[in-house]
Structure 1
């Protein structure tokens, strides 16, 4: 088995080994993965964070040996909280990291992380270890994405989809959740009434066939933050999302789930 990590700000993950293929997700800086199949110029990878699979242009991969991979796996991970972070490489170059990027092998006392033998200094907001008041962190971080454009498969403030949004925000409180809304909905405890929801809970919405097609983050009473066209705030009730711009319901409520503080699935 071979291993890799993203040494770039963002790496697109394709459904098939072709630049013309649909982008299904993105690898953020510092996220590591297994490589279990290779073709000419392409690598089929499985993300360590969420088990998601897809194809990456092999030129974009920073190789990891098994020892370095296991070292990253065993250490508590640090995550950037600033929408954009500039990490100096040398006097001429910086790494540009988006919010939710991983800082492997983080040394909080030195404000330093490393990939293999390369060490980097990082400032700004970094989430590490136990997250105090996780619901507050979820809302504070989610609001930073306000007006970020919608992008299918996106996970960054430059373009993000609904489930990528919830996944990255939950990553900042140290909670791994699946990449797709249809899998995220399987977590946590269902709420019987909208009024039971707390800031940071997730709301899921379905289509006419009953398929989960959308997810958003509850902000406060009858308000939801979600990615639809852009990251936006709309009204929400037991019927669904009511767009304040369109003056109509745009998404049909299926279920609201409490995941923060809940260990079991339902």
Structure 2
């Protein structure tokens, strides 16, 4: 009898321990979730990969974040809610300490791919044009985890960026620059169409300007130090270009039409290939407005417009958002250009229409239309 009672008490004791452990782990998970939602609700633009291990009485926090305040608040909340004082902090803060003297990189080639992981086989998530400055966060194998100027995160091959110390970065920042304004250009070894090619450059690429001018040719320096020549009709002083941008409906339409026929590329943001949001982002950038990378991020901008009967309330340049084929979430974006017609990248950059009588009518997209936003 006594033996049976002892076994029952032991089972109850063990169960209470396991229940207590379960409750504490659940509370820890909730704390981590709350802090992540506060500081890194969108993991495409913020890093917060934190978990924990419990070994005896020790709680070990592991992972990484790019926000010191988030880490500090997490530890403070865990101590407060769990009454734990023995916490081992193994959370890394990005940028990694090994990069303390090399915080920036500059994209070298005309188009440089960023992937979801440190491999060319990983998903293409976005692209950086020549001259784009990225923030270095960490390195793995031959890849750097970087953050784009718009906050977007991805892995880029080290062969595609110039790693900058403070001196190199200062030199780049203070040197006058040019921006490519033609769709496609070839940087030549000499000021002549007949000379050899140094490399190609596309609209939006940024180069360092030299004071040397040879007839109609300008001497330029690439981010990695290579020297070449460009015809002056293909470039513009970067500062002058920025001040000349006018975000108007006609300019948006004109720029969008430049890219008709450019093929679809998942993750693409260049004339070598766009996805739908990369196309919209590029069109707006070339007219002086930086907007986020993805369609759902773009949908948070601007003023929501009541389209009205026959879309009469829409204006040229408004953004149109469409749901995915298999759900209610945003999965596509287009630019409205008037008369029920829009321009978007789906298979390639092309026209679409809400009008069943139009040659551009897209029945599928018409059914998936969600709402419109006005950004200017």
Band the TM-score falls in, shorter-chain normalisation: 0.7 to 0.9
Cα distance in 2 for residues equivalent to 1:75 and 1:25: 27
**For 1:4, what is the secondary structure of its paired residue?**
strand
CA distances 1:154-210 after superposition (whole Å, capped 9, x unpaired):
122221100110111111112111111110111111111232332222111113532
Q: 2:264 aligns with which of 132, 135, 150?
A: 150
1:36-185 pair list within 5 angstroms:
36-48=137-149, 50-69=150-169, 79-90=179-190, 91-101=195-205, 103-104=206-207, 114=221, 115=223, 122=230, 123=232, 124=234, 126=236, 128-135=241-248, 136-185=250-299
Higher-Rg member (1/2): 2
In the TM superposition, residue 109 of structure 1 has moved relative to its aligned partner by: 11
Paired residues, what number?
A: 255
Cα distance in 1 for residues equivalent to 2:126 and 2:267: 4
1:231 aligns with 2:349: yes
Cα distance in 2 for residues equivalent to 1:47 and 1:59: 17
2:312 alignment counterpart: 195
Output the TM-score relative to the length of structure 1: 0.82
Contact 1:100 1:169 (8 Å CA) reproduced: no
1:27 alignment counterpart: 128
Higher percent of residues as helix: 2
Unaligned runs of 5+ in 2: 1-99
CA distances 1:63-89 after superposition (whole Å, capped 9, x unpaired):
233355467668998643321122335
Task: Indicate the larger mover: 162-171 or 107-116.
Answer: 107-116
Distance 1:71 1:178, change over 3 A: farther
Output the TM-score relative to the length of structure 2: 0.60
2:110 alignment counterpart: 9
1:259 aligns with 2:349: no
In the TM superposition, residue 211 of structure 1 has moved relative to its aligned partner by: 1.0
Cα distance in 2 for residues equivalent to 1:70 and 1:222: 49
Q: 1:250 aligns with which of 354, 358, 365?
A: 365
CA distances 1:40-72 after superposition (whole Å, capped 9, x unpaired):
111111112x11111111122122333554676
Contact 2:111 2:128 (8 Å CA) reproduced: yes
In the TM superposition, residue 30 of structure 1 has moved relative to its aligned partner by: 1.3
Q: CA RMSD in A?
A: 3.1
Distance 1:70 1:221, change over 3 A: farther
Higher percent of residues as strand: 1
Unaligned runs of 5+ in 1: 261-266
Cα distance in 2 for residues equivalent to 1:246 and 1:190: 24
